[in-house]
Structure 1
Amino acid sequence: MRKIIYGINLTADGCCDHTQMSGSDEMHIYFTDLLREADLIIYGRKTYELMVPYWPEVAQNPTENKVANEFARVFDSIEKIVCSRSSNSFPGNPRVIRTNLAEEIMQLKQAPGKNISIGGVELPGELIKLGLVDEFYFLVHPVLAGQGRRLLDGTILQQQQSLKLADTRTFPSGSIALHYLQQ
């Protein structure tokens, strides 16, 4: 069965608002490596609209540095699905899931393939609540934002979920990568 992996940037105080931290080469390398292990990306509408069309355009016309251009190339090469109740039309024409989230995601997990990558806040919160996320990749930046969206904002778990630490990595910037497995 395919694994659903959740990767996200966080500040040290748990903020996951992308405007509260800046991109770096080490961040792009980290997430590029995660994406290389996936063949499907599933986002909610908001996260999809943050990522597309920007990164596919960079993949077609490399305007960033070498590391970010490689992230764009890998990101653009992967099939995408958007979960949205409010819209049917998105740039890049991804498949759209509108209803039966748990059923649709279970079918995708059971299909052959590599990992399924998810990102954002609302959709991962729903999938975590449903017990469908297998691995968590948190890249914690040495920043205290003091404001902004927090991880799992608005998500009420039926019960606490235990995670097992699988790996840690510290970067020269002071960012720490935490890899957890669902228990």
Structure 2
Amino acid sequence: MRNLIYAINLTLDGCCDHTKGMADEEIHNYFTELMDETDLFVYGRKTYELMVPFWPDMAKSLSGPTKAMNDFAVKFDAVDKLVFSKTLTNVTDSKSRVVGTDIKEEILKLKQQPGKAMMTGGVSIPTQLIELGLVDEFIFVIQPVVAGEGRRLLDHAKLQEQLQLKPVGSKLFRSGGVALRYLK
């Protein structure tokens, strides 16, 4: 059975707004390595539109300011993407497809198919997936920043019960950030 991994960057105060913390080369390398475990990204429209066409365009031109960003872009571009949306009807990226079906049904079906892990990011779709009990692994990359404002992780989640997670790994970055990895 395929696992579903939720990976996200956060500030120390739980802000997950992509403009509040900046991933450095080491963090980009970390996420690039994570993609070796993944063959499908699961996104909502907002996260998808933040990622595509930005990263695929960078992959084609290798125009990133660092090698780490270019490497991330190339790997990101190679992975298939599934977008859950009621408003987005089509995509131009050949590695992406939009679905408007029931999220639980679709993810359960995908978990039964052969392949590597699936990875999700962002807030809305992952919150729904967590509420449905479909996320198997959590990776939180905490950056040494106190944002003081912005969207907070799982602010509006309605969990049926408290999740008790099992720590399975961590990595300290030179920047002072830390990656924390947990299994459900």
| Fold match by TM threshold 0.5 | yes
Please say if 1:3 is aligned against 2:3. Answer: yes
Aligned Cα root-mean-square deviation (Å): 0.9
Contact 1:121 1:153 in 2 (8 A): no
Please say if 1:86 is aligned against 2:87. Answer: yes
Question: One-letter code of the match for 1:104?
Answer: E
Question: One-letter code of the match for 2:102?
Answer: N
Q: Secondary structure at the match of 2:83?
A: strand
Contact 2:27 2:173 in 1 (8 A): no
Q: Report 1:71-150 matches (<5 A).
A: 71-93=72-94, 94-150=96-152
Contact 1:62 1:69 in 2 (8 A): yes
- Return the alpha-carbon distance in structure 2 between the equivalents of residues 97 and 154 of structure 1: 24
Give the Å deviation of 1:153. Answer: 2.3
Which consecutive residues of structure 1, in runs of 5 or more, have no partner in the other structure?
none
Contact 2:47 2:121 in 1 (8 A): yes
Give structure 1 regions of 4+ aligned residues with deviation exceeding 4 angstroms.
none
Match of 1:56 in 2: 56
TM-score (norm 2): 0.96
Q: Secondary structure at the match of 1:99?
A: coil
Q: Secondary structure at the match of 1:19?
A: coil
- Return the alpha-carbon distance in structure 2 between the equivalents of residues 146 and 32 of structure 1: 29
Contact 2:2 2:118 in 1 (8 A): yes
